[in-house]
């Protein structure tokens, strides 16, 4: 059976600082498997749907082996993971609580990585075309020209086969030559999207507007069916042409906020696939994002349905 959800993007190794403060003073790190689209694929599996991941890794280094082992152990279909023998596994470091106490900063070492070498040949139209939802983010097209071409092929394949397209803007300025380049590249993709995840910073950059109403209206006007505006500690808002929903964030201790948005996206699309309403899907997504920030690592605290249910009325 084909997976319910197929994701496309780079799998990475994350080194998360055990102590807060500047990386120059950190001596101990935890190793985690990460990558936005990888996290969404794992999140969907935790909630008892099927998922598959399209990526590239190295199988002759320990980090590549770690990624394959983790993804396979979580039950994600690894049949579309391509082995690239000529490039290293991408890594990044997480600096926590500095210079802003409640924030984390990512320091990348991923240029020329295996995942950045994703190409259209890695996208199998028959495999992707049999899914229910295709998900990727604005990170993937920023990695390289071939990764951009792979993203475009995947989006076109999904659209041609009536596969719902889910997209998280996830603009990482450090990965783009310029923010104008990011806008010019992402807007045509967004025009083909069914479910869009974004935040006020990205939305303002992409649309040139500042109010929530203008952001929601602007993306709906581009043809997006469902727009979800993630607002961190202020919760989230979702809108279609005929419906609007909002959800408050859970009050939690924040250990590391990285990965919350991917837990949010994975939970929202899983909930919609299960037939839940816009409002219920949004509430569950906010809970998932809130739970993930309480630990270091993007995927360790990805919740099951039961975990979310336990927090519904908290």
User: Are the C-beta atoms of 143 and 9 separated by less than 8 Å?
Assistant: no
Does residue 84 have an active-site annotation?
A: no
What is the pLDDT tens value at each position of the chain, 314 positions in all?
Answer: 789 999 999 999 999 999 999 999 999 999 999 999 999 999 999 999 999 999 999 878 899 999 999 999 999 999 999 999 889 999 999 999 999 988 899 999 998 999 999 999 999 999 999 999 999 999 999 999 999 999 999 999 999 999 999 999 999 999 999 999 999 999 999 999 999 999 999 999 999 999 999 999 999 999 999 999 999 888 999 999 999 999 998 888 889 999 999 999 999 999 999 999 999 999 999 999 999 999 999 999 999 999 999 998 75
Q: For residues 58-88, b (16+ Cβ closer than 10 Å) or e, as one string?
A: beeeebbebbbebbeebebbbebbeebeebb
User: Are the C-beta atoms of 268 and 45 separated by less than 8 Å?
Assistant: no
Q: Of 262, 298, 305, 309, which residue is the catalytic one?
A: 262
How many Å apart are CA 73 and CA 38, to the nearest integer? Answer: 13
Place of tokens 């599996």: 45
Those residues with Cβ within 8 angstroms of residue 76's Cβ, 6 or more apart along the chain or in another chain: 38, 41, 42, 45, 51, 52, 53
pTM of the complete model: 0.96
251: which 2 tokens? 């009050």
pLDDT, position 314: 57
């Amino acid at each position: 059976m084909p997976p319910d959800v197929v994701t496309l993007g780079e799998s990475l190794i994350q080194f998360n600082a055990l102590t807060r403060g500047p990386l120059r003073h950190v001596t101990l790190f935890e190793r985690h498997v990460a990558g936005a689209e990888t996290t969404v694929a794992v999140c969907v599996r935790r909630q008892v749907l099927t998922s598959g991941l399209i990526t590239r890794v190295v199988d002759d280094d320990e980090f590549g082996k770690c990624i394959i082992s983790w993804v396979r152990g979580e039950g994600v279909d690894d049949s579309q993971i391509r082995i690239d023998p000529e490039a290293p596994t991408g890594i990044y470091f997480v600096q926590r609580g500095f210079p802003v106490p409640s924030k984390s900063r990512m320091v990348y070492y991923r240029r020329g990585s295996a995942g950045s070498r994703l190409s259209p040949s890695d996208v199998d139209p028959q495999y992707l075309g049999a899914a229910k939802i295709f998900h990727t983010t604005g990170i993937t097209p920023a990695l390289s020209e071939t990764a951009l071409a792979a993203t475009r092929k995947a989006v076109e394949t999904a659209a041609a086969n009536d596969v719902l397209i889910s997209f998280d803007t996830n603009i990482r300025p450090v990965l783009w030559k310029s923010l104008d380049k990011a806008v010019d590249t992402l807007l045509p993709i967004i025009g083909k999207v069914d479910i869009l995840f974004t935040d006020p910073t990205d939305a303002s950059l992409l649309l040139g507007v500042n109010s929530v109403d203008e952001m929601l209206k602007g993306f709906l006007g581009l043809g997006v069916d469902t727009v979800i505006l993630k607002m961190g500690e202020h919760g989230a808002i979702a809108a279609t042409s005929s419906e609007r929903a909002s959800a408050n964030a859970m009050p939690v201790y924040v250990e590391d906020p990285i990965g919350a948005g991917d837990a949010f996206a994975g939970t929202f699309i899983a909930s919609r696939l299960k037939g839940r309403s816009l409002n219920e899907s949004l509430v569950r997504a906010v809970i998932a994002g809130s739970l993930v920030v309480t630990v270091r690592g993007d995927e360790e605290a990805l919740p099951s349905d039961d975990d979310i249910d336990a927090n519904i009325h908290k």
